[in-house]
Amino acid sequence: MTFARIIAVLMMGAAFMSCQPETAVDFDGPLADWPDYGGTKAGTRFVAANQITASNVARLDVAWVHHSGDVSDGTGDTKRTSFQATPIMIGDTLYYCTAYNRVFALDAQTGEERWVFDPELRARHGEGPYPLTCRGVAYWNDLKHRTGECAARIFTGTRDSELIALDAITGRRCSDFGENGIVALREGIGAAPPWEYYPTSPPLTIRDLVVVGALVADNLRADAPAGVVRAFDARSGKLRWAWDPVPPDWPKGKGYQAGTPNVWSILSGDEDRGLVFVPTGNAAPDGFAASRRGLDYYSSSTVALRVEDGNVAWRFQTVHNDVWDYDVASQPTLFQHPNVGNGVAAVAQPTKMGNIFLLNRETGEPLYEVEERAVPASDVPGEKLSPTQPFPTHPPPLHPQVFGPEDAWGFTPIDRGDCEDKIRSLRSEGIYTPPSTTGSIQYPSGAGGANWGSASFDPTSGVLFVNQMHGPPQVVTLVPREDYAKLDDQAVVYPNELYPQAGTPYGMKRSPLLSNFGAPCNTPPWGTLTAVDLASGNMLWRSILGSTRDAAPWPLWFDLGAPNLGGSIVTAGGVVFIAATLDKFFRGFDAKTGEEIWKYRIPYTGNSTPMSYRVSKTGKQFVVLAAGGHGWSEPGDALMAFTLQ
């Protein structure tokens, strides 16, 4: 057969294949809503809809895109924006918030706007180290007792430190909630600039309450704003209870205690048991525990609060005397599986250290052995840290625990040698190496490991999916006060950070450990997605997550993994969806094998957690992602919906 004839036959075959009808979309599967930030109040991020599967995900394409217009690159007097929202979906309406705290209601199938609420944000200007963000809103209804205006409500927290109730149908403020729909969250907190205290994560609605914590800026001062968690009546906005995270034997006083661990991340709730699950941050100051006055008791912990009064049911501390910024960033995942912990109701708590603690949901006791192991001691005068830290055995830690000169990495012997020299010059004794005045290597860094992207859980298989950062390691140096005062720039300039830690003997410097080529000094992959069988504790697979594209120039695009912020969802169709990385891609992985089976180029990095739903029996399943960058990448405002084509 001649070459020309071969080409003709191949072209005829291609034409025949292109004329074949695509496999019809299966409309027989279940419907699915997404009424809470994590799918449900349990935070499993599992999608019951199974129309999108590992075998047809290649046909997934954009159905619609919504642009809010709420985007800023930080020039002028407007703060840089980061679009981290995960929408919720109730009925046939999608609700989400923007970096300027506007709330949009969209038709879930077409993306058309139904209403928009603008709080006319006052604190949108350039102060503070963090980009403007809003991760989500919450839904609650009183339909059993009333109809009409505000029978169903959307709750949102703002950078102005306000909790706002909106009518879910019209978007108008609920006049019977607080003062014309607004509850001020600064009462009892103490003096602080707007950027130092405000909620970034969605409220939790549970048993006619709205529960909310708040971000407190890190590393600024020992008398930082209080980390109180409060519950308000969902109808009236009246304060029902407040949990001030002071030790149980702390003397009672007026107001909330400054410097207590804050709760900036996502809460979970068990309505049947009447429990709210709270992931806590560090007590202030973050990098020097000796100045905390004994406020460490609830630091870096998972705490269960009773819904009726806010009293503590139990607490489990993941880090003792945390001076590494290893606060609990991930939403507690509530689950129950017959092969895990004898089938008891449980909590899975991922951490920045790469540990996953499996706890009894009613008592907080570990389901499997947790070992207290010896860790390095501090050599900083006046500092005294815990001699041991808790390490889970089931599953074992997912992140490397040691890092020395022999672990240095480089593209060439030149940059690898540079990394070896830097590591030798610093204190590096593995995980929990304390900060020092000469410089210590912290690995994992204060970003993780796992962060606020949390985990997704398949209740059928009992598999937990966790994305993690693996580098770069961080160099942490405590700067004596007299030396800190001589430094010119006393502000945070990411990634080389400088913090005052006012009220302590030391300021703090943090910076990534990079080679003279500008690459992380640790061995790739620098980002992973891992599947863990919670029954056996075994890692089923680990896949590289991300590439150097969009962070390095072409042709230096390598599949080495990437730092990532944002999370995953897992579908009943067997696909794990995640963006999160420094490169501009939205990916789908086979939940059984870890193979990357779908990838879509998005206009901005997707530093958010996706969600999914199917509205009607004649409708398609949607997967929705907020693509809008982070402080480290180009800001945007693209809410993107995908369906099978």
Q: Which residues pair with 270 in a beta bridge?
A: 275
Report the pLDDT value the prediction gives residue 632, as an integer from 0 to 100: 85
- Residue 128's pLDDT band (boundaries 50, 70, 90)? confident
From 363, 452, 362, select the one nearest 135 (Cα to Cα).
452
Query: Per residue in 159-210, pLDDT tens?
Result: 999 999 999 999 999 999 999 999 999 999 988 999 999 999 999 999 999 9
Residue 1 forms part of a structural domain: no
Dihedrals phi, psi of 179, to nearest 5 degrees: -100, 95
CATH of the domain at 504: 2.140.10.10
Q: What is the 3-state secondary structure (H, E, C) of 441-464?
A: EECCECCECCCCCCEEEECCCCEE
Residue 81 forms part of a structural domain: yes
Q: What are the residue numbers of the active site? A: 325
Residue 10 forms part of a structural domain: no
Query: Per residue in 448-469, pLDDT tens?
Result: 999 999 999 999 999 999 999 9
Instruction: Give the number of domains in the chain.
Output: 1
Contact predicate 630/131, CB 8 Å: yes
Query: Per residue in 54-63, pLDDT tens?
Result: 999 999 999 9
Residue 19 forms part of a structural domain: no
Residue 35 forms part of a structural domain: yes
Least confident span in 107-116, 141-150, 420-429: 141-150
Residue 570 forms part of a structural domain: yes
Residue 6 forms part of a structural domain: no
Domain containing 122 equals: 24-644
Q: In terms of C-beta density within 10 A (0-12 exposed, 13-18 middle, 19 or more buried), how is residue 485 classed?
A: exposed
Contact predicate 571/47, CB 8 Å: yes
Separation of alpha carbons 91 and 569, rounded Å: 20
SS3 110: coil
Residue 534 forms part of a structural domain: yes
Query: Per residue in 136-171, pLDDT tens?
Result: 999 999 999 999 999 999 999 999 999 999 999 999
